[in-house]
């Protein structure tokens, strides 16, 4: 059975996008952080899962020469990995190695989990993370706490109807102020 995990950034006040739906505040780069990000993206194992909005944002950046020049290991990993996009509106995907999951995202991810294959990591995709958390389909969360207070925005779990208890399994602080927190359902 495949595992599904989440990798997302959140502000100190709990938002994953600001009030304008912008995430640029989450990009606090330095050599130590870039090495961590490259290590996360360097393996050949694992598929990526996005909601449509995040898919389009990621596709529009990671396929560019700028991405390949700025973060070559991450760009290579993003482009070579198998990808899924949960969407009710996309008819086809135009980023290599991408499959569109049409219809009910929860049912589609439940089916993917039951198949053999690489584990799956969700990037961004707040509505999808919230729906899959509600359905108890997330096996692990890797949250990057960014030292910024936004004041308003969207929370990662905004549509969650019931409390979910998590257990911290690991943490790592970085010189740029980011703290990565690894959680599993309790």
Pick the residue with more confidence: 13 or 91?
Answer: 13
pLDDT at 87: 93
173 token code pair:
């602080």
pLDDT of residue 74: 84
Q: Which residues of 99-128 are buried (b: 16+ CB within 10 A; e: fewer)?
A: ebbeeebeebbeebbeeeeeebbbbbbbbb
pLDDT, mean of residues 55-74: 92
Q: What is the mean pLDDT of residues 9-22?
A: 93
Instruction: Check residue 14 and give its pLDDT.
Output: 93
Q: What number of other Cβ atoms are within 10 A of residue 94's Cβ?
A: 9
Catalogue all structural domains in the chain, each as residue range(s) with its CATH number: 4-185 (3.40.430.10)
> How many percent of the chain have pLDDT more than 90?
72
pLDDT band at 143 (very low <50, low <70, confident <90, very high): very high
Q: Does the pLDDT value for residue 42 go beyond 70?
A: no
* pTM assigned to the model: 0.90
pLDDT computed for residue 100 by the predictor: 96
pLDDT confidence band for 158 (50 / 70 / 90): confident
110 or 24, higher pLDDT: 110
DSSP assigned state of 85: E
Name residues whose C-beta falls within 8 Å of residue 115's C-beta, 6 or more positions apart in sequence: 2
Q: Does the structure show a pLDDT above 80 at 141?
A: yes
Cα(172)–Cα(154) distance, integer angstroms: 25
Q: What is the band of 83 on the pLDDT scale with cuts at 50, 70, 90?
A: very high
Q: How far is CA 153 from the centre of its chain?
A: 17
In the prediction, which pLDDT does 41 show? 66
Question: Range with the lowest mean pLDDT among 37-51, 75-89, 117-131, 138-152?
Answer: 37-51
- What span, in angstroms and rounded, lies between the C-alpha atoms of 120 and 75? 18
Calpha distance 47→163 (Å, rounded): 28
Q: Quote the pLDDT of residue 33.
A: 84
């Amino acid at each position: 059975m495949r595992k599904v995990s989440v990798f997302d950034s959140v502000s100190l006040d709990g938002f994953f996008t600001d009030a304008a739906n912008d995430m640029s505040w989450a990009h606090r780069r330095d050599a130590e952080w870039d090495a961590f990000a490259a290590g996360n993206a360097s393996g050949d194992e694992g598929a990526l899962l996005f909601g449509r909005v995040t898919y389009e944002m990621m596709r529009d950046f990671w396929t560019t020469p700028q991405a390949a020049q700025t973060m070559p290991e991450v760009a290579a990993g993003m482009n070579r990995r198998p990808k899924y996009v949960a969407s009710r509106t996309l008819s086809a995907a135009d980023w290599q190695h991408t499959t569109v999951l049409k219809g009910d995202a929860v049912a589609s991810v439940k089916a993917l989990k039951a198949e053999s294959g690489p584990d799956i990591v969700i990037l961004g995709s707040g509505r999808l993370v919230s729906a899959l958390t509600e359905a108890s389909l997330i096996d692990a969360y890797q949250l990057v706490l960014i030292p910024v207070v936004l004041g308003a925005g969207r929370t990662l779990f905004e549509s969650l109807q019931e409390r979910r208890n998590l257990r911290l399994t690991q943490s790592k602080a970085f010189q740029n102020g980011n703290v990565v927190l690894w959680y599993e359902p309790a």
